């Protein structure tokens, strides 16, 4: 059977998938498209220059091995970078790059055609207004050092850091960070601004919430200084606007922001935006704005996994000079799963309760405070917590339940965890399976049937399940 660029890349992906995490695979390899096969040279298309640099920096060894496995020792990889920053309707152009998978090639250069846009000169000067007088409005506590990296936020954080090193000079312009409430998008936006200020003290950085922008614009109309408002924002080198979803339905605000956006983008200034939804889900926004949001990168922040939640708590404790036993930190991390703000709030509540009542922080006090805390928040037991309870009961390391081992005691514990996850959470069968070693939904269904059958036929097994249910219920009430 003749090899094609598609079949070669499909085979490479099978190898890569076994050697990277599922999150990394989705982020860095699923967007890649095979373009052509020329002898022993495979060309793949990547979405951006940053994407190419990240792949080459972090996965070059893996790529080299897979390419040579498929194409022999002379096999090479070339990149085609899709440039999507042009503002007209012409086709995006492509840049072909030889990868560093060739042993003789070091640090390939990238030749990018010059921008097709010319800078628009600002014909207005605002009397008495100087750039040096513009305060950034950034929160000094929201830094990259305080922003814990995990699979849930790696793409957005990496893009943000790249922007801070070269504001206005990357393909991430604008950068739109979106997520549900409490997952760190405002923190990351501030961190980008602070890092730009640290690296480029002469650049004017401004953070503004969307409601403040709207109020300022309304005031400018009322006070008849609309031009001053526009030209003030056109002076900014890095503009960060938080919660742009609140522009929805406000046509005049969107219109003025459209012109500010165009001017800043065309003059090489950086835009960072945050939203609670992806651009495709934003309702009440003009299409011309939505299309511009897609010129750069839209990156989401997902719910942090257990390890990231523990790291966030430990970072918070370290910053506040606090020490707590690992079992207490882990209990909090297992209990609060969907919101970083709630996670830190729970820690503060426990510390405050212990301090005010002059009590030592024990696991019992922690449990009581968490129970009160989650009653005031829409809380759902997590799959992670269920797995911990099950593993503690059977005295198994939690890593085993997520592994592919077929040992009888591990398989049974895994099936029980799946059974309770289906009963106590709203997670889909696919999500439950993913948390239990990458199993599919059919495996989860089979596990639930097996547990039900064993409960009907094995009294000892039934007693264990009933006892485990009580332990999980203690947490849920």
- For the segment 86-142, what is each residue's pLDDT rounded down to a tens digit? 334 434 444 444 444 333 333 333 322 233 233 322 223 333 434 445 678 888 888
- Cβ distance 79 to 43 under 8 Å? yes
Q: What is the mean pLDDT of residues 24-33?
A: 83
**Of 53, 71, 98, the domain-final residue:** 98
The answer to the question of residue 64 being in a domain is yes
Domain with residue 360: its CATH number is 1.10.8.60
Q: What is the mean pLDDT of residues 345-355?
A: 75
Residues 320 and 256 in one domain: no
The answer to the question of residue 107 being in a domain is no
**What distance in Å separates the CA atoms of residue 331 and residue 116, rounded to the nearest whole number?**
55
Residue 93 has what pLDDT?
40
Residues 227 and 353 in one domain: no
List 297's β-bridge partners, or say none: 175
Encode pLDDT of 287-329 as tens digits. 888 888 888 888 888 877 778 888 888 887 777 777 777 778 8
Percentages of the chain per state (helix, strand, coil), in multiples of 5 = 55, 10, 35
- Cβ distance 283 to 248 under 8 Å? yes
The count of domains in the chain is 4
The answer on pLDDT for 50 being more than 60 is yes
**What distance in Å separates the CA atoms of residue 282 and residue 248, rounded to the nearest whole number?**
8
Which H or E run includes 216?
Answer: helix 210-222
How sure is the predictor about 374, in pLDDT bands with cuts at 50, 70 and 90? low
The answer on pLDDT for 83 being more than 90 is no
The per-residue b/e assignment along 118-131, b for 16 or more CB within 10 angstroms, e otherwise, is eeeeeeeeeeeeee
Q: Which residue has the higher pLDDT, 218 or 127?
A: 218
Q: What is the mean pLDDT of residues 409-427?
A: 87
Residues 163 and 282 in one domain: yes
Residue 108 has what pLDDT?
33
Residue 102 has what pLDDT?
37
3 state DSSP class of 61: helix
- Residues sharing a CB contact under 8 Å with residue 166, sequence separation 6 or more, in sequence order: none
Encode pLDDT of 424-468 as tens digits. 877 778 778 887 878 888 888 899 989 988 988 888 898 888 888
- Cβ distance 273 to 175 under 8 Å? yes
Residues 150 and 279 in one domain: yes
- Cβ distance 92 to 86 under 8 Å? yes
Per the structure, the complete domain to which residue 10 belongs is given by: 5-98
- Cβ distance 383 to 411 under 8 Å? no
pTM score:
0.51
- Indicate if the alpha-carbon torsion angle 260, 265, 270, 276 is positive or negative: positive
């Amino acid at each position: 059977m003749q090899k094609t660029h598609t079949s070669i890349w499909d085979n490479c992906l099978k190898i890569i998938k076994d050697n990277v995490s599922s999150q990394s695979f989705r982020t860095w390899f699923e967007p890649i498209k095979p373009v052509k096969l020329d002898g022993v040279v495979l060309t793949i298309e990547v979405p951006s220059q940053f994407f190419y640099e990240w792949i080459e920096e972090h996965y070059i060894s893996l790529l080299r091995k897979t390419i040579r496995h498929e194409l022999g020792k002379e096999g090479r990889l070339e990149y085609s970078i899709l440039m999507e920053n042009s503002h007209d309707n012409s086709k995006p152009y492509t840049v072909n790059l030889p990868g560093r998978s060739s042993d003789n090639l070091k640090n390939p250069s990238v030749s990018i055609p010059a921008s097709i846009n010319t800078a628009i000169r600002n014909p207005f000067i605002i009397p008495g207004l100087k750039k040096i007088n513009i305060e950034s409005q950034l929160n000094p506590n929201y830094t990259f050092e305080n922003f814990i990296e995990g699979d849930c936020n790696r793409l957005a954080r990496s893009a943000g850091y790249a922007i801070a090193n070269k504001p206005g000079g990357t393909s991430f312009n604008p950068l739109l960070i979106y997520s549900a409430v409490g997952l760190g998008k405002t923190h990351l936006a501030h961190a980008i601004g602070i890092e730009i200020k640290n690296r480029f003290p002469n650049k004017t950085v401004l953070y503004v919430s969307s409601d403040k922008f709207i109020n300022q614009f309304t005031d400018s109309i009322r006070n008849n200084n609309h031009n001053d408002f526009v030209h003030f924002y056109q002076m900014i080198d890095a503009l960060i606007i938080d919660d742009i979803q609140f522009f929805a339905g406000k046509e005049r605000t969107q219109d003025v922001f459209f012109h500010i956006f165009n001017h800043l983008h065309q003059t090489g200034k950086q835009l960072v935006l945050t939203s609670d939804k992806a651009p495709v889900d934003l309702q009440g926004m003009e299409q011309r704005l939505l299309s511009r949001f897609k010129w750069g990168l839209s990156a989401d922040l997902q719910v942090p996994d257990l390890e990231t939640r523990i790291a966030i708590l430990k970072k918070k404790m370290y910053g506040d000079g606090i020490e707590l036993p690992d079992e207490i930190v882990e209990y909090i991390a297992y209990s609060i799963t969907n919101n970083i703000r709630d996670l830190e709030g729970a820690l503060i509540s426990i510390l405050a309760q212990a301090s005010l009542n002059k009590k030592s922080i024990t696991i019992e006090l922690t449990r009581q405070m968490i129970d009160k805390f989650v009653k005031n928040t829409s809380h759902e037991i997590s799959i992670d917590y269920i797995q911990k309870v099950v593993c503690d009961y059977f005295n198994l390391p939690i890593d085993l339940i997520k592994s592919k081992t077929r040992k009888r005691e591990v398989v049974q514990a895994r099936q029980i965890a799946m059974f309770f996850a289906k009963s106590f959470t709203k997670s889909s069968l696919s999500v439950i399976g993913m948390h239990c070693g990458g199993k599919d939904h059919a495996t989860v269904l089979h596990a639930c049937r097996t547990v039900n059958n064993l409960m009907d036929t094995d009294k000892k097994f039934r007693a264990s399940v009933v006892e485990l249910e009580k332990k999980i219920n203690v947490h849920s009430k």
